[in-house]
């Protein structure tokens, strides 16, 4: 039993960790480009923000998976 | 309320002698959005500035010079001066400024110049004080050449080898040297010096010891500095006396120039003028009245068109962009207009989302934080911000905090029943609550006759499943509203048929998805058996297929690619729960560290516990602003706006004068 619980916890950790990593990898270049575009034209703030947060949904998927796994644990 | 105000295009025509008065009236109304007259209309030229322009510009130039001389900065509390007084006194004032100030400024410049010269002289003299020679000893020789300057290293050794006769003086560090050689050896000496990095220093005039000359210079400088301070004091007095009036007259003159240059944006013939403008349909009567009562027959208003929201033709979209958008949101949702502006100004013929996000954003914010302990400071901060701040950015942040704070308190009391991460009522999970901390039993609900008002229905950390479920439903509602607004937009612009194909298909897809979602939760999470004849399966699949068929016809195969996007949109709303959870988790950690682990130590430990408690919650508080604020607005921008919002409109920018240093009676 203890081993199973432990494995679930590890799985949850991997789910949210890798998802976060993926989101970060995707978001980095977008953010850099958005800041560059904004430096040239202030009005692009809104569009830049929008493009930048799109990949961030990935980490929410990971988090939801982790939460669902964690619910199996407790 | 949802749509920008309806606009009417008018043409104002009159004879040129009425132009000035007309411009004044238009500026007074604050409802006229001037359209630049196209320069290439046959039979018309662009108007020329009113006569007041050049005179006012000249005065303005003089005033700005005065402003620069007096070094006027923005006063802390500008006391507005009546515009009438400024107009009456401006000529006399400029004349008196010129005599009064130019003397003082002149002597100031002179002193500054002389001080600069003295500084230079001191710098030149300084190195000579290190050598034991008087100044006159460096010059006026017939058979000797003198080299004075700085070197990188001492040339003495090399000089000894190459020259028979020379006299070398150097300072202690051997960086500054004076070399005396016979004229015949001058060339050789110079060569050697250059090898040692020699650079010549000019000999200052004067006789005797350089220290004495330096003293004289210092004396003169002290006197000048005193004089400088006096002049500076005079200038300061002048500044105190005149700055309010200078700023006021500059403002008044700028206004005069702006008004006088307005004709540049209008059309003109030899004797008449033509003004092209957009006016909100509501304000049209006022404009007509004002013009006819004040101008009589001299000026005529022609109503060109009352603009409806239809796209006239697909190819003519460029025309739509020219109609200015004047938002018509009632308070307090107009406070959210800037959040929409950040993405783009809404177009004239689309729904202005400000009033919709003024409902959803605070709710989302409240759900994500959901804690009375943070909600009340939010409200206070937001209220203060709205009172004090003037810039758009800060006002928007204050708005978000104030209204978000209100919902934070509402959800904090009724839905979650917690403050600073601790529930009010005793907990079944054995964690710290306000009841256990204060030693009194706080109720789970308040009974009012038949009604029972709950205080805390869910726990953010223990009812995760149901909260996730709720957040997905909130997302579905939000998306439905988005699609409905999109449907309304397209229907308004291009008719019902287009709207059906472009947006209704998506509404059906979402509805089908909802049925399937409910089924999936039953089967996958609650582990109920699935029957192929389940009504939800049939309805869901049916709606999904129908919706996709409509969209495929309307938009093509692109739909297949966007379908997973819609699913991720829905899941994206689970962040409402996730962020609440993370905050509750942090709060729980800080509470148990400070209250359960440190505080029982007693004595000094209690002070430490309080410190940990305060610092921890302050951190969570700041995180709450950033994460809940950003994610709350992100859900509007990305998930919501993408369903209907196009933007790219032209902001309504009426002729008006804003005064800061003057008042108009």
**Integer CA distances (angstroms), B230 to B103, B108, B234, in order:** 13, 9, 6
Q: Give the pLDDT score at B238.
A: 83
Token pair of B437 as six digits: 């901390």
- Share of residues in chain B with pLDDT > 90 (%): 19
Q: Give the pLDDT score at B400.
A: 93
Which residues partner with B9 through β-bridges?
B278, B305
* Contact at CB, B344 and A60, closer than 8 angstroms: no
The DSSP result for B477-492, as a single string, is HHHHHHHHHHHHHHHH
d(CA B167, CA B391): 73
> Is residue B638 within 8 Å of A51, Cβ to Cβ?
no
Q: Is B226 exposed, middle or buried (0-12, 13-18, 19+ CB in 10 A)?
A: exposed
Summarize pLDDT for A16-32 with one digit per residue, the tens. Answer: 999 999 999 999 999 99
* Neighbour tally for B356: CB within 10 Å: 23
Summarize pLDDT for B254-275 with one digit per residue, the tens. Answer: 888 888 888 888 888 888 888 8
Mean pLDDT score, B63-67: 84
User: Which residues are within 8 A (CB) of B416 and not within 5 positions of it... i.e. 6 or more apart?
Assistant: B370, B371, B423, B456, B457, B458, B459, B460, B580
Higher-confidence residue: B325 or B451? Answer: B325
- Looking at chain B, which residue has its C-alpha nearest residue A50? B638
Residue B368, CB-side half-sphere exposure with 13 Å CA sphere: 29
Band of residue B662 on the pLDDT scale cut at 50, 70, 90 = confident
- Interface residue A10 vs chain B (CB under 8 A): no
Which of B375, B361, B370, B366 is CA-nearest to residue B333?
A: B361
Cis-peptide, bond into residue B332, ω within 30° of zero: yes
> Is residue B418 within 8 Å of B456, Cβ to Cβ?
yes
- Looking at chain B, which residue has its C-alpha nearest residue A46? B343
Summarize pLDDT for B565-615 with one digit per residue, the tens. Answer: 888 889 889 999 989 988 998 999 999 888 888 888 878 888 899 999 999
d(CA B44, CA B273): 9
- Interface residue A51 vs chain B (CB under 8 A): no
Which of B464, B361, B369 is CA-nearest to residue B418?
A: B369
> Is residue B330 within 8 Å of B14, Cβ to Cβ?
no
> Is residue B661 within 8 Å of B599, Cβ to Cβ?
no
d(CA B426, CA B430): 8
Q: Give the pLDDT score at A60.
A: 81
* Contact at CB, B637 and A49, closer than 8 angstroms: yes
Residues of A in contact with B572 (CB under 8 A): 57, 60
Q: What is the mean pLDDT of chain B?
A: 86
Which of A50, A31, A37 is CA-nearest to residue B342?
A: A50
- Integer Rg of chain B from CA: 40
- Interface residue B469 vs chain A (CB under 8 A): no
Chain B, 313 to 342: residues with Cβ < 8 Å from chain A are 342
- Per residue in A45-60, is it b (16+ CB within 10 Å) or e — as a string? ebbbbbbbbbbbbbbb
Complex ipTM tops 0.90:
no
CA distance A46 to chain B (A): 4
CA distance B604 to chain A (A): 37
Q: Is the pLDDT of residue B317 over 60?
A: no
Q: Give the pLDDT score at A74.
A: 66
- Interface residue A26 vs chain B (CB under 8 A): no
CA distance A57 to chain B (A): 6
Q: Give the pLDDT score at B511.
A: 93
Residue B291, CB-side half-sphere exposure with 13 Å CA sphere: 25
d(CA B586, CA B390): 35
Query: Which of B429, B464, B638 best tests the A interface by mutation, with the highest count of A CBs <10 A?
Result: B638
Residues of A in contact with B343 (CB under 8 A): 46-47, 50
Q: Give the pLDDT score at B319.
A: 52
Mean pLDDT score, B57-73: 83
Q: Is the pLDDT of residue B2 over 90?
A: no
- How many domains does chain A contain in total? 1
* Contact at CB, B342 and A60, closer than 8 angstroms: no
> Is residue B485 within 8 Å of B493, Cβ to Cβ?
no
d(CA B179, CA B163): 12
* Neighbour tally for B160: CB within 10 Å: 11
Q: Is the pLDDT of residue B75 over 80?
A: no
- Per residue in B630-655, is it b (16+ CB within 10 Å) or e — as a string? ebbbbbbbbbbbbbbbebebbebebb
Residues of B in contact with A30 (CB under 8 A): none
Chain B, 628 to 657: residues with Cβ < 8 Å from chain A are 634, 637-638, 641
- Interface residue A44 vs chain B (CB under 8 A): no
Looking only at Cα atoms, what is the longest distance across chain B? 124
- Integer Rg of chain A from CA: 17
Q: Is the pLDDT of residue B527 over 80?
A: no
* Neighbour tally for B187: CB within 10 Å: 11
Mean pLDDT score, B405-433: 88
- Interface residue A31 vs chain B (CB under 8 A): no
Q: Is the pLDDT of residue B530 over 90?
A: no
CA angle B315, B318, B324 (to 5 degrees): 140
- Looking at chain B, which residue has its C-alpha nearest residue A44? B343
Summarize pLDDT for B294-303 with one digit per residue, the tens. Answer: 888 888 888 8
Token pair of B623 as six digits: 């995180």
**Secondary structure class of B23 (helix, strand, coil):** helix
Token pair of B81 as six digits: 């001066």
Which residues partner with B462 through β-bridges?
none
d(CA B550, CA B555): 9
Rounded to a whole number, what is the distance in angstroms from the first to the last CA of chain A?
12
Question: How many helices (H) and strands (E) would you count in chain A?
Answer: 3, 0
Band of residue B381 on the pLDDT scale cut at 50, 70, 90 = very high
Residues of B in contact with A68 (CB under 8 A): 525
Residue B587, CB-side half-sphere exposure with 13 Å CA sphere: 31
Residues of B in contact with A71 (CB under 8 A): 464-465
Band of residue B18 on the pLDDT scale cut at 50, 70, 90 = confident
**Integer CA distances (angstroms), A27 to B348, B515, B565, B579, B634, in order:** 34, 33, 17, 19, 15
Mean pLDDT score, B156-183: 85
Summarize pLDDT for B153-164 with one digit per residue, the tens. Answer: 888 888 888 888
Token pair of A44 as six digits: 């692009």
Name the E strands within B267-393: 267-268, 272-280, 299-306, 324-325
- Interface residue A42 vs chain B (CB under 8 A): no
Size of interface A-B (CB pairs under 8 A): 45
Q: Is B94 exposed, middle or buried (0-12, 13-18, 19+ CB in 10 A)?
A: middle
Summarize pLDDT for A64-74 with one digit per residue, the tens. Answer: 888 888 877 76
Pairing relationship of beta strands B422-423 and B267-268 according to DSSP bridges: unpaired
Q: Give the pLDDT score at B536.
A: 85
**Secondary structure class of B306 (helix, strand, coil):** strand
Q: Is the pLDDT of residue B172 over 60?
A: yes
Band of residue B313 on the pLDDT scale cut at 50, 70, 90 = low
pTM of the model: 0.77
The structure tokens 């890798």 sit at A18
Q: Give the pLDDT score at B28.
A: 86
Residue A21, CB-side half-sphere exposure with 13 Å CA sphere: 6
d(CA A14, CA B554): 42
Q: Give the pLDDT score at B658.
A: 81
Which of B150, B111, B144 is CA-nearest to residue B128?
A: B150
d(CA B645, CA B638): 10
Summarize pLDDT for B131-147 with one digit per residue, the tens. Answer: 888 888 888 888 888 88
Residues of A in contact with B634 (CB under 8 A): 49-50, 53, 56
User: Which residues are within 8 A (CB) of B333 and not within 5 positions of it... i.e. 6 or more apart?
Assistant: B354, B355, B358, B359
Summarize pLDDT for B469-521 with one digit per residue, the tens. Answer: 899 999 999 999 999 999 999 998 888 888 888 889 999 999 999 998 888 88
Handedness of CA B618, B620, B624, B627 (dihedral sign): positive
Summarize pLDDT for B217-252 with one digit per residue, the tens. Answer: 888 889 989 988 988 888 888 888 888 888 888 888
Pairing relationship of beta strands B176-182 and B199-200 according to DSSP bridges: unpaired
* Residue of A46, A60, A67 with shortest CB distance to B637: A46
- Residue B594 DSSP label: I
Q: Is the pLDDT of residue B316 over 80?
A: no
Q: Which domains does chain B have, with CATH numbers?
A: 7-47+266-307 (3.30.70.120), 57-116+224-259 (no CATH), 125-215 (3.30.70.2750), 333-441+459-643 (no CATH)
- Share of residues in chain B with pLDDT > 70 (%): 97
Residues of B in contact with A50 (CB under 8 A): 343, 634, 637-638, 641
Domain that holds residue A64: 2-73
The DSSP result for A36-51, as a single string, is HHHHH-GGGHHHHHHH
Residue B266, CB-side half-sphere exposure with 13 Å CA sphere: 31
The DSSP result for B172-227, as a single string, is TTS-EEEEEEEGGGHHHHHHHHHHTT-EE-PPPS--S-HHHHHHHHHHHHHHHHHH
Where residue A9 sits, what CATH number does that domain have? Answer: 1.20.20.10
Phi-psi region of B33 (alpha: psi -120 to 50; beta: other; left: phi over 0): beta
Token pair of B234 as six digits: 């005079």
* Contact at CB, B574 and A64, closer than 8 angstroms: yes
Band of residue B379 on the pLDDT scale cut at 50, 70, 90 = very high
Summarize pLDDT for B425-473 with one digit per residue, the tens. Answer: 887 777 888 888 888 888 878 877 778 888 888 888 888 888 988 999 9
Pairing relationship of beta strands B650-651 and B324-325 according to DSSP bridges: parallel
């Amino acid at each position: 039993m203890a081993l199973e619980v432990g494995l679930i916890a590890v799985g949850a950790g991997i789910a949210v960790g890798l998802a976060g990593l993926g989101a970060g990898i995707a978001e980095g270049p977008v953010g850099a480009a958005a800041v560059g575009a904004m430096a040239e034209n202030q009005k692009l703030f809104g569009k830049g923000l929008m493009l930048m947060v799109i990949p961030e949904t990935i980490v929410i998927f990971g988090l939801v998976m982790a939460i669902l796994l964690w619910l199996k644990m407790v | 309320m949802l749509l920008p105000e309806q606009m009417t295009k008018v043409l104002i025509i009159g004879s040129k002698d009425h132009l000035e008065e007309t411009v004044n009236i238009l500026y007074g109304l604050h409802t006229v959005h001037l359209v630049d007259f196209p320069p290439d209309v046959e039979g018309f030229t662009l108007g020329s500035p009113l006569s007041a322009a050049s005179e006012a510009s000249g005065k303005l130039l003089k005033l700005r010079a005065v402003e620069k001389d007096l070094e006027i900065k923005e006063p802390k509390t500008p006391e507005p001066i009546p515009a009438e007084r400024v107009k009456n006194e401006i000529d006399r004032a400029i004349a008196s400024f010129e005599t009064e100030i130019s003397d003082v400024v002149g002597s100031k410049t002179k002193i500054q110049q002389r001080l600069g010269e003295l500084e230079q002289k001191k710098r030149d003299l300084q190195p000579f004080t290190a050598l034991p020679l008087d100044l006159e000893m460096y010059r006026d020789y017939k058979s000797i050449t003198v080299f004075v300057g700085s070197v990188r290293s001492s040339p003495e050794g090399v000089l000894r080898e190459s020259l028979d006769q020379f006299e070398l003086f150097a300072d202690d560090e051997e960086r500054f040297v004076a070399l005396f050689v016979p004229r015949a050896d001058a060339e050789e000496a110079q060569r050697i010096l250059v090898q040692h990095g020699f650079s010549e220093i000019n000999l200052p005039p004067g006789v005797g010891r350089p220290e004495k000359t330096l003293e004289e210079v210092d004396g003169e400088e002290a006197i000048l500095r005193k004089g400088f301070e006096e002049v500076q004091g005079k200038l300061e007095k002048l500044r105190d006396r005149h700055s309010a009036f200078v700023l006021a007259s500059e403002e008044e003159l700028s206004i005069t120039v702006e008004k006088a240059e307005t004709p540049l944006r209008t059309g003109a013939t030899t004797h008449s003028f033509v003004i092209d403008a957009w006016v909100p349909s509501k304000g049209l009567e006022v404009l007509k009245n004002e013009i006819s009562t004040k101008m009589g027959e001299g000026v005529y208003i022609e109503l060109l068109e009352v603009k409806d929201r239809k796209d006239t033709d697909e190819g003519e979209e460029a025309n739509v962009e020219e109609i200015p958008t004047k938002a018509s949101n009632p308070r307090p949702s107009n406070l959210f207009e800037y959040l929409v502006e950040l993405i783009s100004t809404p177009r004239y013929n689309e729904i202005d989302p400000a009033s919709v996000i003024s409902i959803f954003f605070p709710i989302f914010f409240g759900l994500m934080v959901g804690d009375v302990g943070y909600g009340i400071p939010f409200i206070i901060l937001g209220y203060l911000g709205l009172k004090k701040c003037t810039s758009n950015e800060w006002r928007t942040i204050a708005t978000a905090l104030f209204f978000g704070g209100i919902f934070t308190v509402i959800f904090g009391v009724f839905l979650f029943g917690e403050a600073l991460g601790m529930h009010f009522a005793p907990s079944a999970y054995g964690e710290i609550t306000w009841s256990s901390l204060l030693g009194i039993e706080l109720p789970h609900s308040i009974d009012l006759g038949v009604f029972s008002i709950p205080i805390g229905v869910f726990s953010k950390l223990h009812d995760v499943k149901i909260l996730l479920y709720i957040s997905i439903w909130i997302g579905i509602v939000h998306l439905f509203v988005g699609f409905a607004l999109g449907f309304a937009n397209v229907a308004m612009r291009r008719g019902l048929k287009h709207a059906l194909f472009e947006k209704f298909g998506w509404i059906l897809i979402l509805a089908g998805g909802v049925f399937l979602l409910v089924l999936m939760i039953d089967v996958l999470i609650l582990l109920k058996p699935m029957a192929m004849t389940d009504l939800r399966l049939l309805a869901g699949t049916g709606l999904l297929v129908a919706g996709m068929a409509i969209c495929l016809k309307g938009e093509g195969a692109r739909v297949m690619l966007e379908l997973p996007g819609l699913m991720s949109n829905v899941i994206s709303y689970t962040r409402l729960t996730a962020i609440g959870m993370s905050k509750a988790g942090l709060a729980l950690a800080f509470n148990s560290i400070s209250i359960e682990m440190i505080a029982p130590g007693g004595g000094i430990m209690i002070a430490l516990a309080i410190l940990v408690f305060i610092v921890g919650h302050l951190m969570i508080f700041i995180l709450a602003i950033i994460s809940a604020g950003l994610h709350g607005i992100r859900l509007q921008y990305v998930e919501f706006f993408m369903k209907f919002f196009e933007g790219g409109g032209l902001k309504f920018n009426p002729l008006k004068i804003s005064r800061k240093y003057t008042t108009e009676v």
